Structure 1
Amino acid sequence: MRFLFVHQNCPGQFKYLAPALAAEGHEVVFISQKNKPTPAGVKKVEYEPHRKVTPKIHPYLAGTEAAVLNAQAVARTGFALRQKGFMPDAMIGNPGWGETLFLKDVWPEAPLISLSEFYYNGLGSDVGFDAEFSTGPDAVLRARARSAQHLLAIEAADLAYSPTEWQRAQFPKAYQDKIRVIHDGIDVEQIQPDATARFRLPGGSELSRSDEVLTYVSRNLEPYRGFHSFMRALPAILEARLDAQVVVVGGDEVSYGGRPKEGGCWREVMQAEVGPLPDRVHFTGRIPYRDYLSLLQVSSVHVYLTYPFVLSWSMLEAMAAGAFVLGSATPPVEEVIEDGVNGWLVPFFDADAIAARVSDALALRKDVDAIRSAARETVVSRFALADCLGKQKALIESAVQAK
C-alpha cells in the first residue's frame, strides 16, 4: 500500500510509525519542510510556504495565517504528486501547523488520520494556569481563535488519535468519538535500567548510580515545563542535600509560551533570580540522545513539571529507564503517575513543597526500588512501542477498509 505522512518537522511523532510501515514493504512518502531528517525507507518531499505571515496582521490570526500558508504549500506539493500518479491509501498527519487542512481536497478518496495532539481552550488547560505569566482575558480570546485550524482539521479527518485521555478530552465533545487514545510509543527495549551506566559531565568527571544525582530535562528551559518552579526550589534542595549533583538538560529557545519580557532566556532570568549556584549544578544545554539515556539511568531523582498540556516523552522515558520520578500534580501527569506507587507527585507552584519533597526523595533514593520497578512496568504495560505501533497500524487498517 501507499501511505502519506505530513509533519513540518519530519519525522516528528511519526519517527517509529513511518519507517515501520516502510520496512513492511509499503511505499511511504513524507511531506515536510526543508532540511529535516529522512527516516529509513521513506521518501521525503519538501515544501516551503511561498511567503511569511502578513506584517501587523491581527495577533489572533497570525497563527491561523501561518497554518493556511503551510497547508497551501502542502496542497500544491500534493497536487504535483497526484499528477505524477501518487494516490495514497491513507494519509496521516499532525495538524498542529495547519498542514493537513487541504489534504482531503487533494485526495478526497483517501482516508485522513489526524494525530490530535492538543486543542486550545481558554479554560481548564494551559491558558491562565500560571497567573505569573497570564495575559488576562486576551489569552482566552486568542485560544479560541487559535483552535480554528484544529477544529477544521478534526472535521476533515476520517479518524484521529491522541496520546492520552486528557489530551483527547480537550477536543469538543462532538468530535471525541472520532478520536482514539493511542500513544506514540516508548522504545522500552532500548530504554532500560542500567546499573553500570555512566554520564560524563561537561567538565569531564563522571556520574554513576552510586552518586546522588538530581535531574531535570526539557527540550527548552521554560515555564510551560515548570523550569521557574524547579529553579526556585533548587537553593533549598542544595542546602539540604550537600552531596547532590544537579544536571539540567535543555536549550535556551522557546518551544511553548513566550520569551521573558525583560529579554534574554529563561535560564538567565531564573539564575539571576535565585542567585549564584554552586559548581555542582550543571547546565548542559541539549545533549545527544545516548547521553540523555545514560543520564536517566544514573538519575537518583528525576523532576518533571508541566502545565496542563501535552505530556512529554521524557517523563515516560525516565520511567522506562527505571528513574524515580517526581511529577507535577497536573494533568496528564496524574493520568500516569500514582503518588507513592510508581512515582511521587509534587505541587507545580509551591517551591518550598517541591524542595522538601525532592530532598526527601534524594534521602530515600536507595530505598525506592519498588517505585522504580513500578514506574517501568507502567510504561511497559501501557506505552510500549510495539503495542502502540500495533494500535496505530490497526487504526490505519480500519480507515483503509472503511473507505
Structure 2
Amino acid sequence: MQILIIHQNFPGQYKHLAPALVEQGHQVFSLTPKVEKRTVWKGVQLLPYKISRASSKEIHPWLADLETKVIRADACYRQALAWKEKGLNPDVILAHHGWGEPMFLKDVWPDAKMGIYCELYHLDSGESVNFDPEFETKDLRSNALRLRLRNLNNTLHFEAADAGISPTEFQASTFPEPFRSDISVIHDGIDTELVKPNPDAVLKISDDLSLTRDDEVITFINRNLEPYRGYHAFMRALPKLLKARPNAQVVLLGGDEVSYGSKPPAGKTWKQIYIDEVRDQISDEDWARVHYLGRVPYDTFLAMMQVSRLHIYLTYPFVLSWSLLEAMSAEAAILASDTAPVLEAIRDDETGMLTDFFDGDALVEKANALLEDPDKRARLGKAAREFVLKTYDLKTHCLPTQLEWVAKLTAK
C-alpha cells in the first residue's frame, strides 16, 4: 500500500509512525519543502516541492493567515500532479493540515483516504481568547470574525478528510461536531525507554559549572520563551523564588522567537522584555544562578530533565507540550499551571502539583514546599512516570494504537 505523509516540518508528529509503516511493508512517501531533491529518511521517500511566491502585502489582515496556507496548498497540489504522472498513487494520505498543504490533495487523488492531525480549532470564547488579561483582545466581536476566517483552513480540510487524530482530549474537544466524532484521541507517544531517570546525569552549563542530581536544579522550558507558555508569569515569580532558595540553580531552555500568540514590540524579544522587568529586583549574586541555554541538542534537554529537582510548567489553555510528559517520564517533580490541557496529565498531589497560572506568590510557596520535601518529590516523580508509562508510552500504547487507526482509515 502507498501512504503519503504531509507535514510542513517533516517528520514532526510522524517521527515514529512513518518508519513503523515502512516496517509493516508499506511504500511511504512525504511531500516536503525541506529537501531540494528526492532522498530517503528511515525508508520514507522524501519528495521535494517548492513554494514559488510570497504573501501579499496589501491583503486584509484577517485573510493573511489563510492566504499563506493557500499558497502552500497550491504549491503542494502542483507538485502532487507532477508526482502522480510519475506513478505516485497513494491509498492513504496522512497530513498535518495546520499549514494548508493537503488542502487540494483529494482533487489529485480522490479515491485516497485522508486522515488529518487535528492540533487545535481556534475558539473565540473568553476562556481561550482572553485567558490572560494582560493580552486581552479589546474587540471581541471582530475577534470572533477573525477566528472564523482562520478556522476556514480547518473547515476546508474537514470536507476532504475521512478521519482525524488528536493527541489530547482537550485539543480534540475544541473541534466542532460533526467532525469531532471522527477524531480519535491518540497521543504521539513518549519513548520512555530513552526518557527515564538517570542518577548519574550531568548537565553542563559552562566550562566552570556542571549540574547533577546532587544540586538543587529548577527547570523551565518553552520552545520559544513567550507568554503563551507562561514565561512572563515565571519571570515575575523568579525574584522571590531566588530569595527563597539561595542554593538553587535555575535553568531555562527556549528560543527568542514566537511560536504562539502575539509578537513582541519591534526590535524586542519576550525573553529580554521580562528580564528587563525583573532584573533590578535580583542581586547580581542571585542572577548568576539563572542560566539561559537557548535551544539545545536533545541529549542536553534529556540531561536537564534528569537533573531537575523541580520542573515548572505553565501554559495557556492550548496544545499540551511534549516537554511536560518527557519531564514526567524522567521522574521530575512537576509544579504546573491549573489549566485545562495540563489536567489530563497532572493530578494535583498525585502526579504533580498544580498552581494558579497568575499567582506568583502561590507558585513560590508551592515550589519552596516541594523543594523542602524530598519524600513528596520522589512520590510525585514516580507516580508521574507510572502515569506516562500507562497512558503515553510510545511502544506499548501510542504507536500500536496509531497503526490501528491507520488500518481502520484504510478500511473505510
Deviation at 1:157, TM superposition (A): 0.8
Structure 1: unaligned runs, 5 residues or longer: none
Within 5 Å, give how 1:218-237 maps onto structure 2.
Answer: 218-237=222-241
Alignment equivalent of 1:179, drawn from 183, 194, 218 = 183
> What are the superposed Cα offsets for residues 266-291 of structure 1, whole Å, 9 maximum, x if unpaired?
11100100015410100110111001
1:281 aligns with 2:264: no
Q: Taking structure 2 as the reference length, what is the TM-score of the superposition?
A: 0.94
Q: How many equivalent pairs are there?
A: 402
1:391 aligns with 2:401: yes
Structure 2: distance between partners of 1:207 and 1:267: 23
Q: Secondary structure at the match of 1:332?
A: helix
Please identify, of 309-318 and 75-84, the stretch whose mean Cα deviation from structure 2 is larger.
75-84
Deviation at 1:262, TM superposition (A): 5.8
Aligned to 1:101: 103
Deviation at 1:347, TM superposition (A): 0.8
- Report if the CA contact (8 A) 2:9-2:32 is conserved: yes
- Report if the CA contact (8 A) 2:250-2:290 is conserved: yes
- Report if the CA contact (8 A) 1:11-1:39 is conserved: no
Aligned to 1:241: 245
1:211 aligns with 2:243: no
Please identify, of 1-10 and 39-48, the stretch whose mean Cα deviation from structure 2 is larger.
39-48
1:188 aligns with 2:188: no
Aligned to 2:30: 30
Root-mean-square deviation over aligned CA pairs: 1.5
Structure 2: unaligned runs, 5 residues or longer: none
Please identify, of 260-269 and 5-14, the stretch whose mean Cα deviation from structure 2 is larger.
260-269
Aligned to 2:119: 117
Aligned to 1:9: 9
Structure 2: distance between partners of 1:330 and 1:101: 32
Query: What letter corresponds to residue 59 of structure 1 in structure 2?
Result: P
Query: What letter corresponds to residue 117 of structure 1 in structure 2?
Result: E
> What are the superposed Cα offsets for residues 38-65 of structure 1, whole Å, 9 maximum, x if unpaired?
6311111122222111112111100101
Structure 2: distance between partners of 1:306 and 1:143: 20
Structure 2: distance between partners of 1:84 and 1:125: 49
Aligned to 2:144: 140
Q: Taking structure 1 as the reference length, what is the TM-score of the superposition?
A: 0.96
Q: Give the 3 Å change call, closer, same or farther, for CA 27–158 of structure 1 in structure 2.
A: same
- Report if the CA contact (8 A) 2:35-2:46 is conserved: no
Please identify, of 32-41 and 371-380, the stretch whose mean Cα deviation from structure 2 is larger.
32-41
> What are the superposed Cα offsets for residues 332-370 of structure 1, whole Å, 9 maximum, x if unpaired?
101111000000111111111112111222222454211
- Report if the CA contact (8 A) 1:128-1:139 is conserved: no
Query: What letter corresponds to residue 19 of structure 2 in structure 1?
Result: P
Alignment equivalent of 2:303, drawn from 274, 280, 294 = 294
- Report if the CA contact (8 A) 1:18-1:39 is conserved: no
Q: Secondary structure at the match of 2:128?
A: coil
Alignment equivalent of 1:54, drawn from 40, 49, 56 = 56
Structure 1: distance between partners of 2:41 and 2:351: 34
Deviation at 1:261, TM superposition (A): 2.4
- Report if the CA contact (8 A) 1:10-1:33 is conserved: no
